[in-house]
Amino acid sequence: MHVTTKDVDKNGVNILTSVIENDGPNPICSEQAKLSARVISVQRTASGGIQVQTAVAVSEPTPVVATKLTPSEEAIAYLQAKRFSRDEAKADVEKFGVERVLAAKAKEAAEEQAKLDEQLAKKLDR
């Protein structure tokens, strides 16, 4: 769907406002899209009117693709977050095994969730 309206300001300048919508349920662009427009052509019509052609461009942001870490990479990243160097983390993953390091990570996450559950329960018991 396309609708154009024309207003005339107090100086006699014609102001054209165009709204372009998709005919179906899907939007033409996202909220993050960058929009630009430029006038391609302005011509006088045979009847004394004006024809205006406008180019409208929509540039959508490139979606971020999350990469899935391998279990080994996840274990190394966990140890690095604990302030181990990459070499130390790799050596410890080889020494203790991926499963053991990831189990420690899961245990730590479970303990943190238990603390949050306890804090919430105390707040709700007020």
What number of CA atoms fall less than 13 Å from residue 22's CA on the CB side? 7
DSSP E strands in 1-126: the ranges are: 2-8, 14-20, 34-44, 50-59
Single-letter amino acid, residue 45:
T
pLDDT score of 84:
93
Question: CA 79 to CA 71: how far, in whole Å?
Answer: 13
50-96 pLDDT, tens digit each: 999 999 999 999 877 778 899 999 999 999 999 999 999 999 999 99
pLDDT digits (tens, 9 = 90+) for 3-46: 899 999 999 999 999 998 887 778 888 899 999 999 999 999 99
